[in-house]
Amino acid sequence: MLFFIDTANLAQIKEAHDMGVLDGVTTNPSLMAKEGIKGKDNVLKHYVDICNIVNADVSAEVIATDYEGIVREGEELAELHTNIVVKVPMIKDGVKALKYFSERGIRTNCTLVFSAGQALLAAKAGATYVSPFLGRLDDISSDGMQLIRDIRLIYDNYAYETLILAASIRHPMHIIDCAKIGADVVTTPLNVITDLLKHPLTDIGLAKFLADHNK
Ligand code: G3P
């Protein structure tokens, strides 16, 4: 399973990268705004800064919602760095753009996916990644994990190569359950990755080993 970090914070990206467990980065306009990155030139520079930390896929989201705009922005993003994956919203013009990018070898991440039907469309259009937002479904008392299961089944039935990138991860059990189901990738905030480290018996056991060593 691949681990992506879901942030535009350079220090957190570096920390996850230094742990040796980072396989990529996802960003979105909200995460960029959270870091105070404003203006096109600054946004594009920030993507390059991220690409220079991790030599792996970095999702950069288009803002346009019309086909021509998505294609124009996506091509500009893809030219920034070979690591860039163009993040495209699950809308009709987005699906059309996914097909355009796929035919030209530009890697894509179809975002804002909340149903199996949307995931099927993304795969048919040749998306590299599909991003089901599992936490946001859980937030409205819907079963986010069932969506991951459904997409896995559908993609396996037809051998679609689109990778399932489980997004909107809230806690470690989301990662564990995604791993059991066979999601290809999880993208999570840094604290959810480091929460995987935690177990009280590890802390107790280590304290005892060190105490015994010092006797
Ligand atoms: O980047 C997409 C997704 O991971 C957003 O997560 O926490 O805003 O629902 P969240």
For the CA of 187, the nearest atom of ligand 1: 4
> 49 is in which domain, residue-wise?
2-214
The yes-or-no answer on residue 87 being catalytic is: yes
Q: Tell me the best of 133, 147, 169 to mutate to test the pocket of ligand 1, counting ligand atoms within 8 Å of each CB and taking the most.
A: 133
pTM higher than 0.85: yes
Count of domains observed in the chain: 1
Nearest to 22 by CA among 194, 169, 150: 194
Q: How far is the CA of 129 from the centre of ligand 1 (A)?
A: 15
- Predicted local confidence at residue 207, as pLDDT: 98
Q: Would residue 36 be called left, alpha or beta, if left means φ above 0 and alpha means ψ between -120 and 50 degrees?
A: left
Q: How far is the CA of 179 from the centre of ligand 1 (A)?
A: 18
CATH code (residue 13): 3.20.20.70
- Predicted local confidence at residue 8, as pLDDT: 98
Q: How far is the CA of 122 from the centre of ligand 1 (A)?
A: 18
Q: Please tell me the number of Cα atoms within 13 Å of 53 on its side-chain side.
A: 24
pLDDT in tens, 59-109: 999 999 999 999 999 999 999 999 999 999 999 999 999 999 999 999 999
For the CA of 188, the nearest atom of ligand 1: 4
Residues having CB within 6 Å of any atom of ligand 1: 6, 26, 28, 133, 135-136, 167-168, 187
- Whole-angstrom distance, CA of residue 188 vs CA of residue 24: 11
Q: Which segments of the chain are extended strands (E)?
A: 2-6, 24-26, 57-61, 84-89, 108-113, 129-132, 163-166, 185-188
120-to-34, 88, 153, 166 alpha-carbon distances in Å: 31, 15, 11, 15
Q: How far is the CA of 167 from the centre of ligand 1 (A)?
A: 6
- Predicted local confidence at residue 36, as pLDDT: 97
pLDDT in tens, 160-178: 999 999 999 999 999 999 9
Q: Is 207 exposed, middle or buried (0-12, 13-18, 19+ CB in 10 A)?
A: exposed
Q: Which of 38, 87, 92, 99 is catalytic?
A: 87
Mean pLDDT of 8-24: 97
